[in-house]
């Protein structure tokens, strides 16, 4: 019942510094109705039943506007042998009640559909299946060979270190039957040119958003033989990728 890890975002939400949380009980490391929140943590820890969308308020400093509303979800954590490890608390700022409810519903559904086994390839496919069509029309999951895909040991992979790693297609999903947009089948090696956005994300560790991906204006497709041609035909264009 003591805090062992917290991300930076929570401190920005409620103003409590990381060093004031670690090693402390929930009533000391959270804000708002801390007695109720600690009781929820203990209930989830003992019962194993998650609690989602429990709203609470945090008073702001005098003269700084109205109290802030938060929504917390509690999930018990365990290892592969069934040993209870602790409780994870997910906190959302309720800036828009409907949007927060939608996000909580997505998180709750993801918890039941993604990661049902320890098999890496199955988890990658579950992730792809979960995001289509609710978040995108077409999704692929490519794993670097630092990840064990089976019994065969694979090379370790750090940040690109000046080389292009080998990726394999681990998951794919599409609104079109058979994912015709995918140039590679499950388990096949995926070609990733050094100049591509894939390597940019891998080397920087940061996500990248391209609102419009125009091959005629991008430099990297010229170095990418498989993707240089037009995508395989599909009945309609991707609208939410």
The CATH superfamily label for domain 8-113 reads PAS domain (3.30.450.20)
Residues of the chain with pLDDT under 50: 62-63, 149-160, 230-241
Domain boundaries, the chain: 8-113, 120-228
DSSP code per residue over 77-88: EE-TT--EEEEE
CB 116 within 8 A of CB 145: no
Calpha distance 119→148 (Å, rounded): 9
The reported pLDDT for the residue numbered 231 is: 46
3-state secondary structure of 190: strand
**pLDDT of 44:** 93
CA dist 42 and 180 (Å) reads 48
Structure tokens at 178: 């058979």
What's the pLDDT at 45? 93
List Cα–Cα distances, 8 to 14, 15, 17, in angstroms: 11, 10, 9
Nearest to 208 by CA among 200, 219, 217, 196: 200
pLDDT at 233: 43
Report yes or no: 18 and 6 within 8 Å, Cβ to Cβ: yes
- In this prediction, residue 154 carries a pLDDT of 40
pTM of the model: 0.48
Q: Phi and psi at residue 39, in whole multiples of 5°?
A: -65, -40
Residues 151 and 35: their CA atoms lie apart, in Å, by: 48
C-beta of residue 90 within 8 angstroms of C-beta of residue 75? yes
Write phi, then psi, for 75 (nearest 5 degrees). -135, 130
Write down the pLDDT at residue 146.
58
State how far the Cα of 33 lies from the Cα of 155, in Å rounded to an integer.
49
Q: Which residues have a Cβ under 8 Å from the Cβ of 128 and sit 6 or more positions away?
A: 139, 140, 141, 171, 172, 173
Query: Which residues, at least 6 apart from 203, have a Cβ–Cβ distance to it below 8 Å?
Result: 159, 160
The per-residue pLDDT for 237 is 42
What was the pLDDT predicted at 60? Answer: 66
- What's the pLDDT score for residue 47? 92
Which residues share a beta bridge with 56? Answer: 70
Element housing 169 (H / E): strand 167-174
């Amino acid at each position: 019942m003591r805090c062992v890890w917290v991300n930076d975002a929570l401190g920005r939400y409620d103003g409590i510094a990381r060093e004031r949380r670690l090693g402390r009980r929930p009533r000391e490391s959270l804000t708002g109705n801390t007695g109720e929140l600690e009781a929820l943590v203990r209930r989830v820890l003992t019962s194993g039943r998650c609690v989602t969308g429990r709203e609470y308020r945090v008073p702001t400093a005098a003269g700084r506007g109205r109290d802030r509303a938060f929504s917390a979800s509690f999930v018990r954590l365990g290892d592969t042998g069934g040993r209870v490890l602790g409780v994870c608390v997910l906190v959302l700022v309720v800036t828009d009640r409907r949007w927060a409810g939608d996000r909580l519903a997505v998180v709750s559904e993801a918890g039941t559909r993604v990661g049902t086994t320890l098999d890496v390839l199955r988890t990658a496919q579950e992730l792809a299946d979960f995001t289509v069509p609710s978040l995108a029309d077409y999704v692929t999951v490519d794993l670097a060979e630092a990840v064990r895909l089976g019994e065969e040991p694979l090379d370790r992979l750090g940040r690109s270190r000046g080389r292009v790693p080998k990726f394999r297609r681990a998951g794919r999903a599409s609104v079109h039957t058979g994912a015709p947009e995918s140039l590679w089948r499950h388990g096949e090696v995926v070609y990733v040119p050094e100049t591509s956005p894939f390597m940019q994300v891998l080397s920087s560790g940061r996500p990248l958003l391209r609102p419009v991906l125009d091959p005629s204006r991008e430099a990297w497709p010229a170095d990418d033989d498989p993707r240089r041609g037009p995508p395989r035909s599909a009945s309609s264009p991707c609208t939410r990728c």
